[in-house]
Amino acid sequence: MYHKLIIPALFLFISIPCAQTIDLKGTVKKESGDPISNARVSLKNHSSLVSITNSSGEFSLSGTKLSQVSTDSLVVITQGYRTVLEEVDNFEKADYAVIQKASNPWIPDGPLERMNGMVKIKAKGHDFEMGQPSDTIRGLFLGETTTPNEQPVHTVNFTYDFWMDTTEVRQSKYDSLMKLVYGDSYIRPTWNATNGMGPEFAAYAIEWGSAALFCNARSKAEGLPDTAYSYTKVIGKLGDICTLQNVSVKPHANAYRLPTEAEWEYSCKGGTFTDFYWGKNYKPYGSSSADNAEIGQYAIFSYNSSSLPKDKKTDTAYYGVNEVARKKPNNYGLYDMVGNVSEWCEDWDNYYSWGEATDPVSATTSLLRIRKGGNWGNVASYLRAAERTFNTPDYEFLFCGFRCVSSGIQTGIKKFNRQHSQKHPSINFSSGLLKFSNVSGSKIGIYTLTGKEVYSSRPTQNSVLFSSGSLPAGSYIVKIQSHAITNAMITVIP
């Protein structure tokens, strides 16, 4: 007897999301009420929907979205204006009114303030837009669909000013300071004439650790009261593929350090809003000989870096790093901010965050440090201020160099430790001047820490004033020699 086999029916329920219409319209205007044309309007979570405002500031975003997403944000980007991130909770609205505030970078209106090969960058109370506005810009030359490492564009605010080297660190200064401070522990990089060699050439083949150690060496050599970097051990050879173990930085110490990425990009742009600080955007720019000739006025890159002296025997054109400060500076008086050598920054590799940031520097979340600015081997697209490159800290190939900054350094005499006898003469400091009292018939001498005399006088009057501005940066011993010797230790930053 056969039994009927009853198999229960199985029902599979599949949830299919319902598509919802996106139909957003509105205007983008200045605070004055005037329309903003060419503003790029998109949605944070539906980035493929993009609208460019017309001459009346009008935009229109149309498409579909998944019903699970209940809110989104309008993203409005315009060169010269602060990025807007405005919440959207109604995806079918025809009267969005977006107000976009003007960016507020420092625009120099007089002589730049200079000190010891540096220029003061006015950043406190200012802001700029960091990142690349075009999300397909790398697709123009690398075939990538987006530019994730350079986005989202976000507003950076600063609460401090800082000093920055006007040039990349020269080979002569790098080598002499590293020898002075670290002695036989230091190994000179393998610079050569083929890729650029000489006192005024940018130092290259520098890994991040050695760049940080140079900053400490410079602070020590100039007698500053602090160093920016601390670490527990140097792994490898100092000056040649070294890594600093457990390294940390005091960002606002009275000392030199590497720039944060935000400091670097702000300084590179020099108060401008375009991809290149000479007022051009990459669309692509640099594809013609006329473009390259113009870029060559500002940068050493692949088009002109073979201009090194030729080998007389073989007539070979060398190809590499060039001397610093041979091209036009930007508005902040900074040379070679793009091209020549890529410059190490303080930050570790990390993605940008949405919204505003104040004094940003990325934490240790990766194994890679950031380099900015492109170099002598790069094409024009790598010379954009927003361009980012990442390498391990011990990477020291021919393209790597750096410059120093300080957000804690101050001008004038920083240290004045007076030691004198109960008898006269005496030394006092006031308003940037050394005042020598009761020194008639005495010898006044100012000496470097190695004993070299840099100033001497035998005054006939009792009181003498001396300005520290006539001395190079550094530490000095001041002596008054008479029947009693009066000494003072000073650190001078002209």
Range of the domain at 444: 412-493
Q: Are residues 396 and 416 in the same domain?
A: no
For the segment 392-422, what is each residue's pLDDT rounded down to a tens digit?
887 777 899 999 999 998 765 444 444 444 4
What is the reported pLDDT for 440? 83
Q: Are residues 363 and 229 in the same domain?
A: yes
What is the reported pLDDT for 300? 96
Reading the chain (494 residues) residue by residue, the pLDDT tens digits are 444 444 344 444 444 455 688 999 999 999 999 999 999 999 998 888 899 999 999 999 999 876 677 889 999 999 999 999 999 989 999 999 999 999 999 999 999 999 889 999 999 999 999 999 876 666 555 555 567 788 899 999 999 999 999 999 999 999 999 999 999 999 999 899 889 999 999 999 999 999 999 999 999 988 888 999 999 999 988 888 889 999 999 999 999 999 999 999 999 999 999 999 999 998 778 889 999 999 999 999 999 988 766 555 555 667 899 999 999 999 999 999 999 999 999 999 888 999 999 999 987 767 899 999 999 999 998 999 999 988 888 777 789 999 999 999 876 544 444 444 445 677 777 666 788 888 888 888 887 765 678 888 888 888 888 877 777 776 677 888 776 566 665 666 55
Q: Are residues 471 and 330 in the same domain?
A: no
What is the C-alpha radius of gyration for the chain, rounded to an integer number of angstroms? Answer: 29
104 lies in some domain:
no
Q: Are residues 265 and 334 in the same domain?
A: yes
Q: Are residues 399 and 423 in the same domain?
A: no
Strand order in the sheet with 92-99: 58-66, 19-29, 92-99
Q: Are residues 230 and 171 in the same domain?
A: yes
Report the alpha-carbon distance of residue 175 to residue 180 in Å, rounded. 9
Domain boundary among 79, 99, 119: 99
What residues does 102 pair with on adjacent strands? Answer: 81
281 lies in some domain:
yes
Q: Are residues 231 and 288 in the same domain?
A: yes
Q: Rounded to an integer, what is the distance from CA 422 to the centroid of its chain?
A: 51
How many distinct structural domains can be found in the chain? 3
Q: Which of 449, 407, 448 is nearest to 164 (CA)?
A: 407
Q: Is 394 exposed, middle or buried (0-12, 13-18, 19+ CB in 10 A)?
A: middle
Give the CATH number for residue 286.
3.90.1580.10
